[in-house]
Structure 1
Amino acid sequence: MATSRAVSVKDVAGRARVSVGTVSNVLNRPEKVAPATVARVQHAISELGFIRNDAARQLRAGKSRALGLIVLDVRNPFFSSLALGAEDRAREAGYSIILGNSDEKVERESAYLDLFEEQRMAGVLISPFGDVDDRLVRLRERGTPAVLVDRSTASAGFSSVAVDDVAGGVLAGRHLLDTGRRRIAFVGGPIDIRQVHDRLTGLQEAASSVPDAEIEVLLGDSLSIIEGRRLGDELAARPVAQRPDAIFAANDLMAIGVLQALVMLGSIRVPDDIALVGYDDIEFASGAVVPLTSVRQPAGLIGSTAVEILLDEALNDATPGRSVVFQPELVVRASTTA
């Protein structure tokens, strides 16, 4: 039985009546080849169905034309927007983005770092869940730069792009306090996620200047709608006198889960009885059954800026350690103002 064989560069050269070197130039440096010859080679490629072996080319070059991106939760629209911003900027520079979802699990995060190192990525973008400093240092020593996204830090001399989450927590807290709320519940995921920690710190900072303000902290296993719904159910089940009069959720997914729990009960009015603030200002925030007040961060800009810094370090030997911090913005909607 005949065995099918992949079309090779030599096959293309024979069909186009040019040398193998000319085909290579058409594929990699077309500006060095006469337009008529380029057209003839491209016609031969189309006729034969040639597909270049990019993996082999990258292996010979020692580096990929792809950038690895690891996010905490790909289901969160914030990270989807961040990835789109990174992808658009990478494409402009002739690179692609390979996306990995750690799902807030250390072992998955480590597995993606293993994969990206094996695939010789040109660089790595990561929103860390665990302590990855030593691992990223090793990557950098082997020629693969890394930039932290959605995490502001000068740790181990890595560049980072993020929003000031402490300032975001202050914005949310002051807004709730200015509307007369005094018993504020913070609903978040694991406190060892830096973003959760910093947003809570900002809320506590805002409340520290108001003598009768009280902050209660409720932490779930993840930053998900399901966990928000579960914690919201716990609050809604309390006697009226023991409920908070405001809730600040660590992200919009949790806030939407909390909102579902409150409105499904039917006897709790948002914002009359309990005001609610989220974080990220994802697209669903404005379309919730009660439009959600949220702290906005520029997800796409974070992604594109991180790629710019990463490519600068990968291609121009720029010194790592740049820290870009964007300022958050409070977007007020019906969940806090009647």
Structure 2
Amino acid sequence: MKDVAAEAGVSLGTVSNVLNRPEKVSARTREQVQSAIDRLGFVRNDAARQLRSGANQSVGMIVLDVGNPFFTDLAQSAETRLGELHRPLILGSSGQDPVREANCLDLFESQRVSGVLISPVGQVQERLRQLRRRGIAVVVVDRRLGSGEFPSVGVDDLLGARLAVTHLVQGGRRRIAFVGGSPELSQVRRRLAGAQAAAAESGLDATVEAICTDTLDATAGRRAVEALLDRSPSRRPDAIFAANDLLALGVLQGLTLAGVAVPDEMAVVGYDDIEFASSAAIPLTSVRQPRDALGQVAADLLLEHIADPDVEPREVILEPELMIRLSSTTRSG
């Protein structure tokens, strides 16, 4: 800054005002200082500013799987909203691992971020309380912790699963396999619960069998199909409802490689409605989550609590929509 002041022929205080309080400096002086900055290639040291002020405008975000397009779209939406107020987003991925999740939280706390958006995998309530005591706002995304002490935004997973299974039952499917990840994830539990409730309420002897997977990706979907096809034909499902679209796309691939006709022999429905769902070789029926709205609402809730830490936490629940495509075309019977 001293070099910039000397180059521009102004005081150090004037350079500081141009960088931090430009409204206090005339347009001509701002232009003079900015020209000096450009000539010298000066870059402000924000880390030093944060150490002096104890404040950081950045926001940390932890998602379950950065490789899942649902979460990248969600993060992009939140980043766009936060960017309007010049708050950069730092993205971390837990990979569904509580240890990695804890490491991300430790990093964000050490960086003194102003807030954290998190899709939790572990039991993190006490850790989030600690962040809040340190003055870091917290918003839970795509999950509800149940305590109501933190603001949250999510989609009605019970309704989404009901839409999917009701559609399958109305299309004549009776033996439905729910291919999901770990039941430790609340999203998986709620989608399974909604699926089983819809089957029970149909009055048509429909059943939903839970098939757990270690991960929520396409490889896990293919492995689940291999296990199901090892059964005798009479014990195989006539439909698969997957906990997310990556699993569902793996299911489609596994069925296609095994020569199983989709949807004639087995229907498939996913969840999330990522971009690849509609462009798959067999377009995938999927429960659409409003990703853009999720990210925007999450960012707005966080900004609300950064501005006023004492504001009452709000829980926002958005509605899903079933997008029907070729993978589940209805049949009679």
Would you say same fold, with TM above 0.5? yes
CA contact (8 A) 2:64 2:119 kept: yes
When residues 154 and 237 of structure 1 are mapped into structure 2, their CA distance, relative to the original with a 3 A threshold, is closer
Equivalent residues in 2 for 1:161-310, closer than 5 Å: 161-209=153-201, 210-266=203-259, 268-310=260-302
TM-score (norm 2): 0.97
Provide the C-alpha distance between the structure 1 equivalents of 2:59 and 2:273, rounded to a whole number of angstroms.
Answer: 27
1:104 is matched with which residue? 96
Provide the C-alpha distance between the structure 2 equivalents of 1:44 and 1:21, rounded to a whole number of angstroms.
Answer: 15
* Runs of 4 or more above 6 Å deviation: none
CA contact (8 A) 2:137 2:309 kept: no
Provide the C-alpha distance between the structure 1 equivalents of 2:312 and 2:199, rounded to a whole number of angstroms.
Answer: 37
Shift of 1:325: 0.4
CA contact (8 A) 1:278 1:292 kept: yes
Deviations 1:84-109 (A, max 9, x none): 00000010011010000000000000
SS in 1 for 2:328: coil
1:3 is matched with which residue? none
Shift of 1:318: 5.0
Identity of aligned residues (%): 54
What is the number of equivalent residue pairs in this alignment? 329
Provide the C-alpha distance between the structure 1 equivalents of 2:147 and 2:59, rounded to a whole number of angstroms.
Answer: 21
Provide the C-alpha distance between the structure 2 equivalents of 1:206 and 1:158, rounded to a whole number of angstroms.
Answer: 30
SS in 2 for 1:75: coil
1:125 is matched with which residue? 117
1:332 matched to 2:324? The reply is yes
Shift of 1:154: 4.5
Provide the C-alpha distance between the structure 1 equivalents of 2:245 and 2:291, rounded to a whole number of angstroms.
Answer: 13
1:24 matched to 2:21? The reply is no
SS in 2 for 1:247: strand
Shift of 1:127: 0.1
One-letter amino acid of the structure 2 residue matched with residue 182 of structure 1: R
Which blocks of at least 5 consecutive residues in structure 1 are unaligned? 1-8
1:6 is matched with which residue? none
1:40 is matched with which residue? 32
1:67 is matched with which residue? 59
When residues 156 and 325 of structure 1 are mapped into structure 2, their CA distance, relative to the original with a 3 A threshold, is closer
SS in 2 for 1:335: helix
Q: Which moved more, 1:207-216 or 1:245-254?
A: 207-216
When residues 325 and 95 of structure 1 are mapped into structure 2, their CA distance, relative to the original with a 3 A threshold, is same
Shift of 1:237: 2.7
Deviations 1:228-280 (A, max 9, x none): 110011112322211101110000000000110001112x1111010110000
1:54 is matched with which residue? 46
